[in-house]
């Protein structure tokens, strides 16, 4: 059995000591220098700032995305029209190249034909023709006189004998 008043006094002292200790601990932190309404106001302000920050960041991202998308679209458009232009130019170039090539080819073809004709004419002019039947001659008698066959030469002999320039010894066929 103890003294109840003594016991409660001890208890009160112990409580006060505890309180002082707690107060001393709390006094060391900066937050305890600020009162509750101010803390709440600061918390509100921070919350507000954070939400402002998020909103504006969100807005900036949306704007940036939209801007990039527009740039992408306009680039696409630009690239497409550039490609189209390039294609047209290449087509035009190809067409004019082909035109030049075709003209060149035509020129070559016709000059070849002209050359061929000229050669043929030249060959024809160099050839001798039968004085009797006008076929190509293979037997030569004398100046400007040839025959395609012995038969033609013999048949023509009646006309030719007066003008034949071959030496008399070899005249008779």
Stretch that binds Zn ion, among 50-58, 79-87, 95-103, 147-155 (CB under 5 A): 147-155
139 part of the interface to Zn ion, by CB under 5 A: no
**In the window 71-130, what residues touch Zn ion (CB under 5 A)?**
130
157 part of the interface to Zn ion, by CB under 5 A: no
> Closest CB to Zn ion among 126 and 162?
162
Among 128, 129, 139, 142, binds Zn ion (CB under 5 A): 142
Stretch that binds Zn ion, among 16-24, 54-62, 101-109, 164-172 (CB under 5 A): 164-172
Q: How far, in Å, CA of 37 to CA of 43, rounded?
A: 10
Among 132, 144, 157, 158, binds Zn ion (CB under 5 A): 132
Among 36, 121, 141, 155, binds Zn ion (CB under 5 A): 141
Among 133, 139, 155, 157, binds Zn ion (CB under 5 A): 133
DSSP the chain: ---HHHHHHHHHHHHHHHHHHHHHHHHTSGGGGS-HHHHHHHHHHHHHHHHHHHHHHHHHHHHHHHHHHHHHHHHHHHHHHHHHHHHHHHHHHHHHHHHHHHHHHHHHHHHHHHHHHHHHHHHHHHS-BBTTT-SBP-EEEETTEEESSHHHHHHHHHHHTTT--S-GGGT--
146 part of the interface to Zn ion, by CB under 5 A: no
131 part of the interface to Zn ion, by CB under 5 A: no
Count CB neighbours of 145 within 10 A. 19
> Closest CB to Zn ion among 22 and 154?
154
Token pair recorded at residue 172? 């008779």
> Closest CB to Zn ion among 51 and 135?
135
Token pair recorded at residue 29? 């932190």
- Interface residue list for Zn ion (CB under 5 A): 130, 132-133, 141-142, 145, 148, 152, 164, 166
């Amino acid at each position: 059995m103890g003294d109840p008043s003594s016991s409660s006094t001890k208890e009160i002292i112990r409580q006060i000591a505890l309180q002082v200790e707690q107060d001393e601990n709390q006094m060391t932190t900066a937050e305890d220098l600020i009162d509750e309404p101010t803390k709440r106001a600061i918390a509100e302000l921070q919350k507000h700032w954070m939400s402002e920050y998020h909103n504006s960041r969100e807005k900036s991202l949306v704007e940036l995305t939209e801007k990039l998308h527009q740039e992408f679209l306009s680039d696409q458009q630009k690239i497409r029209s550039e490609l189209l232009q390039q294609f047209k130019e290449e087509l035009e170039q190809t067409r004019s190249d082909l035109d030049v090539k075709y003209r060149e080819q035509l020129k070559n073809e016709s000059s070849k034909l002209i050359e061929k004709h000229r050669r043929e004419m030249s060959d024809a002019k160099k050839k001798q023709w039968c004085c009797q039947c006008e076929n190509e001659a293979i037997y030569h008698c004398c100046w400007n006189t040839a025959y395609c066959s012995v038969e033609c030469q013999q048949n023509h002999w009646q006309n030719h004998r007066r003008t034949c320039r071959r030496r008399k010894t070899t005249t008779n066929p």
